[in-house]
């Protein structure tokens, strides 16, 4: 937090009872407004309105605070009139009904993600021709093929090297000085210029440098857009909206593959068109981002509460909902500030590992991001044309099969829009990773089929690769960026997301560099089998380290991540795992799972809710 930022005050009597956000051993989940007498609550709201320059909004803020304290009792709250109750009833009954501005903001920012997918597939197709033009042929049997394969890998990995080393970490100061929208605008300009520049390069060294600059923009954008989407979204559909990032990345992969086919017959300039065309999705992002409202939470972090309220008015249907969300977010931030001490860039980074609540979020985000590279999706996204060529397809056939892979990857991402906030992030991951393991292993084994079999061998390889993509897209595809954008406290959100994206793109760089050499050393069968094994390892890591986050506000997740990792892991091993075997292996309908989290509701008694 810079010197210009005002620390959110520790208000007296803000909450009736305390939950230790560093060691919530009992796994209690509690509304911080619960138990506060109404006169005290209204005095707190009055002080809040005066301090934040919102005195003119005191009546609606008071009403919103009372609603935030007892959201389930809105039908009987005496401060609400019939029109207020109609608003809340409609909100509960129509969870997808929100202002056009919200959806415009999410879609516009997500479109920018298509640049990343398009670049992956542009370089995928370019791999068939640019190495020869630059004098570094890497096809089997070519002179110095092993040495050249490392060079091709490094060129392909350049954006991910720069993202991990620089771009992601620039997101914190960029967001601090320019806000979410300003950062997105700056990165969009980079993502317009660098793909075009790459099309005019005349050596692999120049192409490498241009792609490094591309990576700076890609890393800062990847660390900012999901946060921006998460901070603007309501809790009950946040996963579906934030996963627009992955949906448009998948669309970019598909369109990139299609563009590869379109320009394939343009001769020697084909690879230049394949790389250069990736600038297209960044154009609308740069042109229209300032028509979207700034993140209310970023404005609150800067102590610009009137602006935050105005942003919420554009993102919610009514002033009552905006006032409720503004005050509830503020109260949660007050609780959050009690365990955080961030004062500068380096302190915020150190707190990712030194504050227990933040450290658990760092571990969980690291796990899901690392798992995205462990699953093997990018060996297909980066090198499908090369892999299919080695399987026996012609270059043109390899491009067409890659288009099929891109289409499956895009289409099967849509089910996650409806499942990520119902089944949850954790459930989707635990279901899809075993499926990705066996499909990838089967695809690798199909390379062992006698090539004389002909089309049957080629079809089998393609089918299992397509099945792998179909399982990836609704699970490990959308979850990592969505999950990482929501799990960190506001003070560490930029640094936490930067670390998570660094893990993802850094390992993407390692994969991109090593896979061409792995294909030569292990053959496609060995390489696919290696990544199938990593899928199993990723499943185990997710099982023990990744809590569920669905249906919680960003600030309520402080309480989820206040549960010690040992308590969470022990519960999964001693309660959740035996329940799974009893219920789904032995089909015992009488099996019951004891809930981990104890949700305390502001009524006569506490109730429990199972979130795992």
Report the pLDDT averaged over residues 333-348. Answer: 78
Report the pLDDT averaged over residues 299-304. Answer: 95
Residues 6 or more apart whose CB falls under 8 angstroms from that of 482 comprise 226, 230, 238, 239, 242, 243, 245, 246, 420, 425
Note whether residue 604 is domain-resident: no
What is the model's pLDDT at position 19? 66
Report the pLDDT averaged over residues 532-538. Answer: 97
What is the model's pLDDT at position 521? 85
Report the pLDDT averaged over residues 333-356. Answer: 83
Residues 6 or more apart whose CB falls under 8 angstroms from that of 48 comprise 11, 54, 61, 327, 330
What is the model's pLDDT at position 227? 93
Question: What confidence category does residue 18 fall into, taking pLDDT thresholds of 50, 70 and 90?
Answer: low
Question: What confidence category does residue 181 fall into, taking pLDDT thresholds of 50, 70 and 90?
Answer: very high
Residue 233, domain CATH: 1.20.1250.20
What is the model's pLDDT at position 278? 85
Report the pLDDT averaged over residues 259-283. Answer: 83
What is the model's pLDDT at position 162? 93
Contact 292, 431 (CB under 8 A): no
Q: Which residue range forms the structural domain that includes residue 225?
A: 100-297+341-557
Predicted confidence (pLDDT) at residue 604 exceeds the cutoff of 50: no
Predicted confidence (pLDDT) at residue 121 exceeds the cutoff of 50: yes
Predicted confidence (pLDDT) at residue 340 exceeds the cutoff of 90: no
Note whether residue 364 is domain-resident: yes
What is the model's pLDDT at position 501? 93
pLDDT above 90 covers what percent of the chain?
57
Contact 327, 68 (CB under 8 A): yes
Note whether residue 123 is domain-resident: yes
Question: What confidence category does residue 608 fall into, taking pLDDT thresholds of 50, 70 and 90?
Answer: very low
This prediction has a pTM of: 0.84
d(CA 130, CA 32): 59
Report the pLDDT averaged over residues 161-171. Answer: 93
Phi, psi values for residue 584, rounded to 5° = -110, -20
Q: What is the rounded average pLDDT for all residues in the chain?
A: 87
Report the pLDDT averaged over residues 547-560. Answer: 89
CA 262, 266, 268, 272 torsion-angle sign:
negative
Quick one: which H or E segment has residue 170?
helix 168-198
Q: How many domains does the chain have?
A: 1
What is the model's pLDDT at position 267? 75
Question: What confidence category does residue 113 fall into, taking pLDDT thresholds of 50, 70 and 90?
Answer: confident
Question: What confidence category does residue 612 fall into, taking pLDDT thresholds of 50, 70 and 90?
Answer: very low
Listed ranges 118-132, 154-168, 182-196, 453-467; the one with the highest mean pLDDT: 182-196
Report the pLDDT averaged over residues 197-203. Answer: 92
pLDDT in tens, 373-410: 999 988 887 777 778 887 778 877 887 888 888 899 89
> Would you tell me how many other CB atoms lie within 10 Å of the CB of residue 407?
17
Note whether residue 564 is domain-resident: no
Report the pLDDT averaged over residues 529-545. Answer: 96
Note whether residue 515 is domain-resident: yes
Contact 96, 237 (CB under 8 A): yes
pLDDT in tens, 355-372: 999 999 999 999 999 999
604 or 94, higher pLDDT: 94
Phi, psi values for residue 317, rounded to 5° = -75, -25
d(CA 121, CA 410): 13
What is the model's pLDDT at position 81? 94
What is the model's pLDDT at position 302? 94
CA 309, 310, 312, 317 torsion-angle sign:
positive
DSSP 267: G
What is the model's pLDDT at position 180? 95
Note whether residue 415 is domain-resident: yes
Note whether residue 20 is domain-resident: no
Query: What are the percentages of helix, strand and coil residues in the chain, rounded to 5?
Result: 70, 0, 25
Question: What confidence category does residue 193 fall into, taking pLDDT thresholds of 50, 70 and 90?
Answer: very high
* Integer CA distances (angstroms), 99 to 93, 165, 239, 521, in order: 15, 38, 17, 54
Note whether residue 124 is domain-resident: yes
What is the model's pLDDT at position 600? 65
Predicted confidence (pLDDT) at residue 261 exceeds the cutoff of 50: yes
Residues 6 or more apart whose CB falls under 8 angstroms from that of 91 comprise 97, 317, 321
pLDDT in tens, 32-59: 898 899 999 999 999 999 999 999 999 9
Predicted confidence (pLDDT) at residue 5 exceeds the cutoff of 60: no
What is the model's pLDDT at position 342? 59
Q: Which of 125-139, 155-169, 448-462 has the least mean pLDDT?
A: 125-139
């Amino acid at each position: 937090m810079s010197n210009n930022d005002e620390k959110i005050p520790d208000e007296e009597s803000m909450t009736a009872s305390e939950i230790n956000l560093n060691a919530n051993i009992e796994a209690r989940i509690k509304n911080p407004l619960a138990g506060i007498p109404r006169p005290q609550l209204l005095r707190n709201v009055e002080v809040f309105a005066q301090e934040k320059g919102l005195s003119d909004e005191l009546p609606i803020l008071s009403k919103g605070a009372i609603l935030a304290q007892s959201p389930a009792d809105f039908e009987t709250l005496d401060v609400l009139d019939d029109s207020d109750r109609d608003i809340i009833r409609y909100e509960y009954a129509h969870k997808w009904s929100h202002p056009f501005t919200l959806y415009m903001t999410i879609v516009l920012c997500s479109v920018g993600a298509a640049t990343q997918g398009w670049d992956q597939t542009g370089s995928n197709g370019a791999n068939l021709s640019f190495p020869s033009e630059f004098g570094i042929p890497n096809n089997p049997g070519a002179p110095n093929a092993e040495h050249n394969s490392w060079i091709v890998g490094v060129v392909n990995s350049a954006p991910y090297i720069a993202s991990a080393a620089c771009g992601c970490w620039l997101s914190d100061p960029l967001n601090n000085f320019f806000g979410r929208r300003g950062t997105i605008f700056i990165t969009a300009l980079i993502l317009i210029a660098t793909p075009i520049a790459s099309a005019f390069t005349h050596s692999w060294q120049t192409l490498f440098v241009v792609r490094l600059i591309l990576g700076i923009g890609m890393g800062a954008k990847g660390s900012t857009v999901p946060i921006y989407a998460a901070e603007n979204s309501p809790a009950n559909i946040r996963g579906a909206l934030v996963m627009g990032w992955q949906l448009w990345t998948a669309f970019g992969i598909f369109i990139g593959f299609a563009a590869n086919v379109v320009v394939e017959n343009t001769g020697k300039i084909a690879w230049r068109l394949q790389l250069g065309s990736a600038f297209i999705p960044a154009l609308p992002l740069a042109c229209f981002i300032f028509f979207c409202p700034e993140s209310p939470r970023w404005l609150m972090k800067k102590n610009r509460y009137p602006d935050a309220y105005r942003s919420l008015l554009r993102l919610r249907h009514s002033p009552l909902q905006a006032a409720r969300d503004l005050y509830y977010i503020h109260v949660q931030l007050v609780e959050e500030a009690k365990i955080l001490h961030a004062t500068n860039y380096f302190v915020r980074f150190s707190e990712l590992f030194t504050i227990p609540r933040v450290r658990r979020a760092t571990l969980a985000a690291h796990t899901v991001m690392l798992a995205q590279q462990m699953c093997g999706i990018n060996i297909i996204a980066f090198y499908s044309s090369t892999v299919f060529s080695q399987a026996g397809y012609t270059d043109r056939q390899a491009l067409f099969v890659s288009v099929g892979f891109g289409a499956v990857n895009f289409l099967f991402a849509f089910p996650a829009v409806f499942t990520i906030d119902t089944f949850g992030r954790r459930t989707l991951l635990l279901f899809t990773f075993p499926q990705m393991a066996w499909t990838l292993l089967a695809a690798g084994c199909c390379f062992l089929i006698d090539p004389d079999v002909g089309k049957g061998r080629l079809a089998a390889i393609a089918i299992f690769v397509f099945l792998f993509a179909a399982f990836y897209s609704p699970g490990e595809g959308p979850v990592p960026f969505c999950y990482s954008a929501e799990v960190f406290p506001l003070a560490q959100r930029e640094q936490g997301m930067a670390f998570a994206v660094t893990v993802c793109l850094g390992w993407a760089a390692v994969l991109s560099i090593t896979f061409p050499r792995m294909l030569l050393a292990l053959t496609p069968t060995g390489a696919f089998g290696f990544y199938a094994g990593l899928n199993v390892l990723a499943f185990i890591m997710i099982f023990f380290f990744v809590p569920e986050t669905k249906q919680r506000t960003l600030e309520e997740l402080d309480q989820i991540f206040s549960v010690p990792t040992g308590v969470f892991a022990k519960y999964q091993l001693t309660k959740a795992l035996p329940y799974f075997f009893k219920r789904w292996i032995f089909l015992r309908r009488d099996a019951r799972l004891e809930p981990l989290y104890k949700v305390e509701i502001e009524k006569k008694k506490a109730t429990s809710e199972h979130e795992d």
